Amino acid sequence: MPLLFLNEKSWTTRCDEARADAAMAEFVEAVRAVAKEDREETALVSEAGLDSLEIVEGYPVRKWIGSSPKNRVRWQRLRALQNRSPVRCVYPTPDAASGLEYSHDGEAALGLGAAHFMEGIAVSLPVAPEWHTHNVTLDRSELVEIGDGSLEFQHDTVDVRHISTLPDVDEHRPWIRESSLVRAATGRQIWERRADLYPNLQFLSRIEDQLSGLDSRWIMPVRHSLGRLDATAEAWDPAAMPEPEWQSKVTPEGETRKRVCRFEDFDGALATFHLHARFTPGAGRIHFRLIGAEGKIRIAHIGSKIRPDL
């Protein structure tokens, strides 16, 4: 579903009430334009209920609603959408993003970060000029497992889809329509829609059971990891390079562990799938091998770190 995450940093700024009214009118129109693409499934997600917010300092939503008949109509249109709060209520589990921290201009960015984590869209009140954009860059700190099995924070920057006015919606409309057709909120749905979600990946049949029983905490991390592997394979030209340029951390197993990474391939023969990507929480692994003749990546294992007795 199109999840719209309210950017709390764009609210409670300073401007006069006339400017706030104009910004709210643009905000409501932008949100409704997204909802028109998938009215039943679109939800506006905020940390607190919408009617408890301050649009700008000293001008709460309740006052805005009562200030004119037009605003009351706009509020009724906004209320026609699902409003879900707090933000973590739409996560696969409440602690799903516990190893992630997002910030913008040095300050924590809850709504913006949630939009990136859940592959949704951030939506802002178009008061400050910095929110007149269709993408916002965030600083991300992610707790990842390193080579010795310990955890450390890895820092990078990411872009999140963002709207505040109708032109921003137009920019993202193709993605909104595509995402409405291909949703994957469970491991089972990832399996069923794998061909559309990851056209450059191949999956052994054993993956069906692994995804169907996937821990809910791992839904989004697995989707993100598979998405990066798919993008890696898409950009790979086997004729030019024997191994692609990885878009995430990928490592091979050592010689002593390669024997536990052998699985029956499509042709019935055993093959070694010792390359692996990692995901958290816990010691999550995606094991695969490169199929140079097809320019694809073939997945053999999604789950916990493979133990020798498995």
Top pLDDT among 124 and 253 is at 124
Task: Enumerate the β-bridge partners of residue 297.
Answer: 201, 290
Q: What is the pLDDT of residue 146?
A: 73
Longest pairwise C-alpha distance within the chain? 73
Asked if the model's pLDDT at residue 86 lies above 60, the reply is yes
Q: What pLDDT score was predicted for residue 200?
A: 97
Type of residue at 175: W
SS3 95: coil
pLDDT higher than threshold 90 for residue 104: yes
pLDDT tens per residue, range 163-217: 999 999 999 998 888 776 666 778 999 999 999 899 999 999 999 999 999 988 8
Banded pLDDT at 242 (limits 50, 70, 90): very high
Task: Look at residue 180 in the predicted model and tell me its pLDDT.
Answer: 66
* 229 pLDDT tier (thresholds 50, 70, 90): very high
Alpha-carbon distance of 233 to 244, in angstroms, equals: 7
CA distance 118 to 70: 33
* Distances, alpha carbon 144 to alpha carbons 58, 177, 201, in Å: 42, 33, 23
CB 272 within 8 A of CB 264: no
CB 212 within 8 A of CB 191: yes
The share of the chain scoring above pLDDT 90, in percent, equals 61
The answer for 12, left when phi > 0, alpha when psi is -120 to 50, beta otherwise, is left
Residue 53 contacts residue 23 (beta carbons within 8 Å): no
Quote the pLDDT of residue 147: 67
Provide mean pLDDT across the span 20-43.
Answer: 89
Look at residue 294 in the predicted model and tell me its pLDDT.
95
**What tokens were used for 69?**
């008949």
pTM of the model: 0.75
> Facing residues of 6 across strands?
123
Question: How far apart are alpha carbons 229 and 276 in whole angstroms?
Answer: 10
pLDDT of residue 163: 96
Write down the mean pLDDT value for the chain: 89
Mean pLDDT of the 231-249 span: 94
Q: Where are the alpha helices (H) located in 136-288, listed in sequence order? A: 166-181, 187-192, 194-197, 207-212, 219-235
Q: Is a pLDDT exceeding 70 seen at residue 310?
A: no
Pair 172, 121: CB distance under 8 Å: yes
* pLDDT for 240: 94
pLDDT digits (tens, 9 = 90+) for 252-295: 988 888 889 999 999 999 999 999 999 887 778 999 999 999 99
